[in-house]
Amino acid sequence: MPQMATARHALVIGESLVDIVTDPTGRQETHPGGSPMNVAVGLARLEVDTTLATHIADDGPGELVRAHVERSGVSLSLLGPETASTSTAHAVLDDDGAAEYTFDVTWAPESLDLGRPDLIHTGSLATSLDPGADVVEETLRGTPEGTVVSFDPNVRPSLAPARGVLRERVERIASLAHVVKMSDEDAAWLHPELSVEDLVAHYAGLSGGVFVLTRGAAGCTIGTRRWQETLPAPAVDVVDTIGAGDAFMSGLLYALLEAGLTGPLTRGEPDQQGLRACARTALRSAAVAVSRAGANPPGPRELLLT
């Protein structure tokens, strides 16, 4: 078994919320959720020392979220406003397990303290919903030298600003990142005019690091300024897709830390063979997540068995 990444520290910035999930029969279940929170939990389950900078209120949903992240080994750095309730998302599943979301979200941190982590990850509503998105973007401009920045826009059109406004913000934040991951659905919404090849080239060029496009059952396309490659996804029986992209993200970041590729990424020297192996780990992580209900990422032993 490979050595775990417990010596590394990851800071994840973004929303925590409660998913209220309705399946095709009308049955409801409640799960802690939120893309950044899911990534933080995924990293902690993979034994990465992880802090989540987020907003959680002293209410029922907040207690559910707090218990979940602390049980998973995530440290919390709580952000304001103190008067806001814990955010919620209502997800309605179709017969294929795909989710359609509506949100009740507050994201308004006044400031962020990055410290000196090895890795910073952010995205989703934290980088699209004002006023907090402006704070996150400005904070990332002060990222310490040698810290890897990871970004997943994870677009929520029902909460997003105008397409052109969000596209510009996504591109600005991508230019501050070393690792950018995007789903094919996000790509189609943000850049309907771009082919996969042109999309990868565009974002790899902005970041100077690595760009990954996740493509559901078709796997992923990973690339840098110099190369692109498409990798297949493991075959799996899908229960639902909630948190699949987040499990991919945490698996990818874990693998990058384990492989010692964060340093080369900050220097603009990504390694094709190493990045390919990291993407395969991420695909395995997502495969485990979709094989069970809710946002439920794997631990390290499950990655080895997949």
pLDDT, residue 19, reads 84
Q: Residue range 103-127: average pLDDT?
A: 93
pLDDT of residue 3: 42
pLDDT of amino acid 243: 84
The predicted pLDDT at position 305 comes to 58
DSSP-derived letter for residue 217 is G
Q: List b or e across 59-84, with b for residues whose CB sees 16 or more CB atoms inside 10 angstroms.
A: eebbebbbebbeebbbebeebeeeee
Q: Measured between alpha carbons, how far is residue 291 from residues 160, 225, 234, 242 in Å? A: 29, 34, 11, 10
Residue 185 scores a pLDDT above 70: yes
Most confident of 103-112, 203-212, 289-298: 203-212
Higher-scoring residue by pLDDT: 97, 64: 64
Using CA atoms, how far apart are residues 141 and 111, in angstroms rounded to an integer? 13
Give the pLDDT band of residue 216 (cuts 50, 70, 90).
very high
Give tens-digit pLDDT for 146-158: 999 999 999 988 8
For helices 244-259 and 35-45, angle between their N-to-C axes, nearest 10 degrees: 40
Q: What is the DSSP string of 70-105?
A: HHTT-EEEE-S-TTSPPEEEEEEE-TTS-EEEEEE-
pLDDT of residue 268: 84
Who wins on pLDDT, 40 or 102? 40
8 A C-beta contact, residue 183 and residue 244: no
Q: What is the β-pairing status of strands 87-93 and 228-231?
A: unpaired
What band does 80 get if pLDDT is binned at 50, 70 and 90?
confident
Q: Is the pLDDT of residue 83 over 90?
A: no
Counting residues of the chain whose pLDDT is more than 70, the rounded percentage is 97
Task: Give the model confidence (pLDDT) of 264-280 as tens digits.
Answer: 999 888 889 999 999 99
Nearest to 123 by CA among 13, 40, 7, 272: 13
For the stretch 163-182, pLDDT in tens is 999 999 999 999 999 999 99
* pLDDT of 306 over the 70 cut: no
Q: Give residue 177's pLDDT.
A: 97
Neighbours of 101 (CB within 10 A): 16
Handedness of CA 171, 173, 179, 181 (dihedral sign): negative
CATH topology of domain 9-296: UDP-N-acetylmuramoyl-L-alanine:D-glutamate ligase (3.40.1190)
Contacts of 71 (CB under 8 A, 6+ apart): none
Spans of all domains in the chain: 9-296
**Angstrom distance (rounded) from CA 119 to CA 50:** 9
Residue 5 has pLDDT above 60, yes or no: no
Using the predicted structure, report yes or no on whether residue 192 has a pLDDT greater than 70: yes
pLDDT tens, residue by residue, 220-250: 999 999 999 999 999 988 888 788 999 999 9
Residue 215 is encoded by which pair of tokens? 């493509």
The least confident of 60-64, 192-196, 197-201 is 60-64
Residue pair 52/36 in contact (Cβ under 8 Å)? The answer is yes
What is the rounded CA–CA span in Å between residue 13 and residue 126? 7
Q: What is the pTM of this model?
A: 0.91
For 45, 164, 196, 213, 218, the CA distances from 230, given in Å and listed in that order, are: 27, 28, 10, 9, 9
Percent of the chain with pLDDT over 90: 71
Give mean pLDDT, residues 186-215: 96
Q: What angle do CA 282, 171, 5 make, to 5 degrees?
A: 30
